Amino acid sequence: MNIGLVMLVVGGVLAASVGVALGAAQSGLPALVAFLGLGMLLGSDGPGGIAFDDAQLAREVGVVALAAILYEGGLSTSWRRLREVAAPAISLSTVGVVVTAAITGAVAYGLFDLSWTKSFLLGAVVASTDAAAVFAVLRGTRLRRRLARTLEAESGANDPVGIALTLGLIAWIEQPDYGVGDLSVLLLQQLGLGLVFGVALGLVAMWIFARIPASIEAFVPVASVAAAAVAYGAADAAHGSGFLSVYLVGLAVGSTPSRHRSHLVAFHVGLAYVAQVALFIVLGLLVFPSQLPPVALSGLALTAVLIFVARPVAVWVSTWPLRQFNRPERLLLGWAGLRGAVPIVLGTFVLSSQVKGANTIFNAVFFVVLVSAALQGTTFEWVAQKLDLLVSFSKAEAPLEVTRDWHSLNLVEFAVGADHAIAGAAVRELGLPREALIAVLVRGDEAIPPRGSTRVQPGDVLFILSPDGKGPELEDVFSRWRQRI
């Protein structure tokens, strides 16, 4: 195919995705659902007429896209914000995934014409929550910090578990002599090597990113992409979980005090959105609407069981021994099991394998992703509000010039202590969220309009303006400011 034509098609699809995203934002429809619809319109059953059934290519695109999404998920957080919820997050991402897969698989056996192993394979494909979907929801909510961080950590950590479980079950189906012992060894190997490579390469990345000079600042995103690629590739080459490794390296880079952090986060957020567009459109292209009616009722029934039974039970089993959450918090954690990019990628794993009934599994995944995004994604904050799990911040009157652009502003105060990490730092190095700004810096009796070069001193009081929904991000920033570096 002519390269100019390829670029035209790719550019046209990306342009269409921008228009679809704009329409979704204005209508309240989740972008994931909109992109699925765009892919189906472009497919062979739609007016686009693009014939695409290459499951292997879709799998390769999905692996690259998911690695980019997981790296951005780690980069956008930090170890400081996750360590307080490490125990429940690990429990949810291991025990929770297995329980969800078991319950969903058992129900799938009664709903579809699949063997027990293939039914549990379907359960494993949809067992883990999606980092991209969870992060997208949390960015616009005022959920209590501990709950938000638990969901962030779980969504990044449970993907490798779901992926390893899926690969093991595919091998079990394809190889007659494969058994539970082999599956257990594969899980330990995948997670163990992924952990080792992720920690080791993460330490190297922290050392490098803390020392990148300003003279090559333009190449920092290149270095970050290189770190993500090496993290995934090295672990995968050693037959470990490249996805766990890339998430841990992203977490390490995000935890590194650096003037480049906000720039890197903005770059990788954009890259992750492109990856999501590619994933959801590929799924739309692979789904043939004419094949969906025979599995529609069964797919919707399975989705209902996953959302209303399997996920809540998995949350209760995973968190009850820790006794860290009350009943409303467990209910919200159960409702927050959003599915998105990960089941799509794992669905392409199954579709590109030798498993009979792969089309049935893939079509069932379509219903799970579609309903989860449309139902849970749009009602998450409403449910959190009904359960009284949202936090509020003091409001402040803002100048007219600002309120024309921002619907609602919060004015937050931060007093700088002598032992705080930001004492002596320039304003441009503070790493505020992109939409937040320091309105004024008060030093003694003097109000100082801050510039990028203004140095913060102990005893200063910073007054920060930020739009609604940025409370959790500001709390994370403040926790870093209070730390010694």
Q: Quick one: pLDDT at residue 139?
A: 67
Per residue in 117-162, pLDDT (tens digit) is: 999 999 999 998 887 778 777 766 778 878 888 888 888 888 888 9
pTM across the whole model: 0.75
Percent of residues, the chain, with pLDDT higher than 70: 93
For 302-365, give the secondary structure using H, E and C. Answer: HHHHHHHHHHHHHHHHHHHHHCCCCHHHHHHHHHCCCCCHHHHHHHHHHHCCCCCCHHHHHHHH
Look at residue 400 in the predicted model and tell me its pLDDT: 35
Between 165 and 323, name the one with better pLDDT: 165
Position 405 scores a pLDDT of: 46
Place of tokens 């228009």: 19
Backbone angles phi, psi at 461, to 5 degrees: -120, 120
| Predicted pLDDT at 146 | 82
With H, G, I as helix, E, B as strand and everything else as coil, classify residue 218.
helix
Question: What pLDDT score was predicted for residue 402?
Answer: 44
Closest CA to 281 of 227, 233, 344, 324: 344
pLDDT at position 393, please? Answer: 46
Complete domains list, the chain, with CATH: 29-386 (1.20.1530.20), 400-482 (3.30.70.1450)
Mean pLDDT to the nearest integer, 259-287:
82
Residue 109 sits at the vertex; the CA angle it makes with 106 and 110, to the nearest 5 degrees, is 100
The average pLDDT across 107-120 equals: 94
* 112 neighbors 119 (Cβ within 8 angstroms): yes
Q: Could you give the C-alpha distances from 443 to 305, 342, 437, 462, 481, in angstroms and in order?
A: 58, 49, 17, 9, 18
Higher pLDDT, residue 16 or 195? 195
| Average confidence score pLDDT of the chain | 84
Q: 468 pLDDT band (50/70/90 cuts)?
A: low
Q: How far is CA 460 from CA 211, 357, 450, 477, in A?
A: 28, 65, 12, 17
Mean local confidence (pLDDT), 399-425: 68
Angle between helices 242-254 and 261-286 (to 10 degrees): 150
354-370: pLDDT as tens digits:
888 898 998 898 888 88
pLDDT at 404 over 60: no
Q: Is the per-residue pLDDT at 248 higher than 90?
A: yes
The pLDDT value given to residue 436: 84
Indicate if the pLDDT at residue 394 is higher than 70. no
Instruction: Look at the block and give the residue holding tokens 């309120």.
Output: 403
pLDDT exceeds 80 at position 293: yes
461-467, strands of its sheet edge to edge: 409-415, 461-467, 437-443, 446-448
